[in-house]
Structure 1
Amino acid sequence: MPTLPLPERESHQHRRAAESFGADAARYDRARPRYPDALVEAVVAAGPGRDLLDVGIGTGISARPFRAAGCTVLGVDADPRMAAFARHDGFDAEVAAFEAWDPAGRTFDTVVAGQTWHWIDPVAGAAKAARVLRPGGRLAVFWNVFRPSPATAGAFSAVYRCVLPDSPLNPWAGPVAQAYEGLFAKAADGIRQAGAFGEPQQWRFDWERRYTREEWLDQLRTGGDAGRIPPDRFEELLAGFGAAVDALGGAFTMPFTSVVVTAALAGTGPSGPSVSSEASSPSEPEDTAAVR
């Protein structure tokens, strides 16, 4: 389910949360949203070559499309269970927090992070990326943002209010996307403060996915909130969401926007998509967002 930024500390200080997703790596790999081809093509085209480092490779969801595009991918992940899953899929994956990871002299054309950069110190992470990038190299960090229709968001928000009436955060109510604009801004500010990159850019790619009831509930079980809500209440939430999807006809289409915050090493010049890349053009639904 959508996971809001954690207000009491910076998200990268929540290492226990960052390393919790491997508890059911198979479900995570099965249920989590993928990334549009246009995003992958833009990132590959903007780099000087096809040697890629995936920070927070997880089960390989973000790495697979880059491998399919002809990239050689090395992964780093703080969770050994996630790294083991990625290795089983044929990736080289090393276990470490990125800020402490030893590159052993290796360098890369592009450093990416799919749905994970909020778990990395934004300044130290950008500085580390700069140290392992070759001349002309690029850092590209990206997230998927849910963009439900008003009807879908309203139905899910009502479930949340019913089951957790005292919760200060309802991820399906209000202008939640604003919180994630802050997250994107924090990533860009970290890149600037690292002092090694040109001005960050933001690329957006619209797409959508059709969910059945069971696929949606499967996805909800992989979110950060699943480990923070008491189990009995979480099961009530799932039952409510299932009933809401049933009321929507047993399936629904979820629009997404994949947002990339990216910059090239200083002195290499800007590069990026020449036109807006959109898989679909939903009509300004109320936004909400999700992170790993």
Structure 2
Amino acid sequence: MAESFGSDAVRYDRARPRYPDALVAAIVAGSPGPDVLDVGCGTGIAARQFQAAGCQVLGVDVDARMADLARRSGLAAEVAAFEAWDPAGRDFDAVISGQTWHWLDAAAGAAKAAQVLRPGGRLAAFWNVGQPPPDVAEAVAAVCQRVMPDAPFNPRATTKPLDGYQPLLARAADAIRGTGRFHPPQQWRFDWQCSYTRDAWLDQLPTHGVFTRLLPDKLAEVLTHVGAAIDALGGSFTMSYATVTVTTTRTGGS
């Protein structure tokens, strides 16, 4: 699934939400310099925000299609799985990762981050966690149960998405601690909202991992059902987002 997002990289770049400016500012302010490595850079959504904040960003992504689109927007991007990526002697002031860290081997990812960060450098893995209105969340859960009855996840978990992220955050923090090369990790949270029209949300929905590999007829069924739920709300809704972050800084020494 981690390599399925590039199947429609243009849609991903167009439809996926950006990250709060406050998050970018906090990471930049908490890093010793402007050199940033973006792990799982995708199409460059986060990287462009950090570039706009004055950073020099290098992206790494396992999907060549995503990395190619990132390059077309002006980002330097290399294609590799981060755990196996060769930094070629380069080091960085910050390692960031938006919507990606859970796809990595947690221990290997934390160890590689420690390898490429300068002493005092910041590691920040972050995720946008959306909480749609109950009617939209229920529509997504119901149609997922119908069209993906054997899916290896609980569709009803979409009604409380932030709860589902807690094991993911804990796993990332445990791996960071396990390296012995970082200060104790912290969790940051930034709350914000975004309004979606029916068409804007149906444009984004296919970019989410549970839908990227659905057959066209199954995806059409999902979009029809969810679209009807949004129509019943008047054709638009407001999504509440929490951008949750696991972050720490590298200790001194080699």
Instruction: Identify the match of residue 223 of structure 1 among 177, 188, 208.
Output: 208
The AA in structure 2 aligned to 1:154 is: E
2:138 is matched by which residue type in structure 1? G
Structure 1 match to 2:17: 33
Does residue 141 (structure 1) correspond to residue 129 (structure 2)? The answer is no
Is 2:27 aligned against 1:49?
A: no
The answer to whether structure 1 residue 23 and structure 2 residue 4 are counterparts is no
Kindly indicate whether the alpha-carbon contact (under 8 Å) linking 1:156 and 1:172 is maintained by their aligned counterparts in 2.
no
CA contact (8 A) 1:154 1:172 kept: no
Aligned AA for 1:67? Q
* Preserved contact between residue 156 and residue 244 of structure 1 (Cα < 8 Å): no
Question: How far did residue 157 of structure 1 move?
Answer: 3.3
Number of the residue aligned with 2:228: 243
Tell me how far apart the structure 2 counterparts of residues 210 and 120 of structure 1 sit (CA, whole Å). Answer: 31
In structure 2, the partner of 1:277 is none
Q: Tell me the equivalent position of 2:250.
A: 265
Instruction: Using the TM superposition, give the Cα deviation of residue 49 of structure 1 relative to its aligned residue in structure 2, in angstroms.
Output: 0.7
| Equivalent residue letter for 2:174 | D
CA contact (8 A) 1:147 1:254 kept: yes
1:194 paired residue number? 179
What is the TM-score with the length of structure 2 in the denominator?
A: 0.93
| Superposition CA RMSD, Å | 1.8
Amino acid at match of 1:107: D
Structure 2 residue aligned with 1:182: 167
Listed one character per residue, the Cα deviations across residues 73-109 of structure 1 (whole Å, up to 9, x for unaligned) are 0000111111111110111100110011111111100
Query: What are the residue-to-residue correspondences of 1:1-292 with 2, within 5 Å?
Result: 17-161=1-145, 163=147, 169-171=154-156, 175-266=160-251
Tell me the percent identity.
62
The count of corresponding residues between Structure 1 and Structure 2 is: 252
Change (3 A) 1:237 1:80: same
- In the TM superposition, what whole-angstrom CA distance separates every residue of 1:115-145 from its partner, at most 9, and x where no partner exists? 0001111111111111111121010000010
The answer (yes or no) to whether the contact 2:135–2:229 under 8 Å persists in 1 is no
Query: What are structure 2's unaligned runs of at least 5 residues?
Result: none
Range with bigger deviation, 136-145 or 227-236: 227-236
Task: Kindly state the Cα deviation for residue 159 of structure 1 after the two structures are TM-superposed.
Answer: 4.0
> Partner residue of 1:275?
none
Residues 26-79 of structure 1: CA deviation (Å, up to 9, x unaligned): 000001111010000001111001100000111001111100000000000111
Q: 1:195: Cα distance to partner?
A: 1.4
Whole-angstrom distance in 1 between the partners of 2:148 and 2:207: 19
Aligned partners of 1:226 and 1:234 also within 8 Å? yes
Corresponding residue of 1:286:
none
Aligned equivalents of 1:56, 1:87: Cα separation in 2: 14
CA separation in 2, counterparts of 1:200 and 1:156?
34
Give the secondary-structure state (helix, strand or coil) at the position aligned to 2:226.
Answer: helix
Please give the alpha-carbon distance, in whole angstroms, between the structure 2 residues aligned to 1:120 and 1:207: 27
Structure 1 residues 97 and 251, CA, compared in 2 at 3 Å: closer, same or farther?
Answer: same
Find the aligned partners of 1:99 and 1:161 in 2 and give their Cα distance: 34
| Higher share in helix | 2
Where 1:224 maps in the other structure, the secondary structure is: coil
Moved more, 222-231 or 45-54: 222-231
Within 2, Cα distance between the matches of 1:237 and 1:165? 13
Contact 2:129 2:161 in 1 (8 A): no
Separation of aligned partners in 2, 1:129 and 1:166:
36
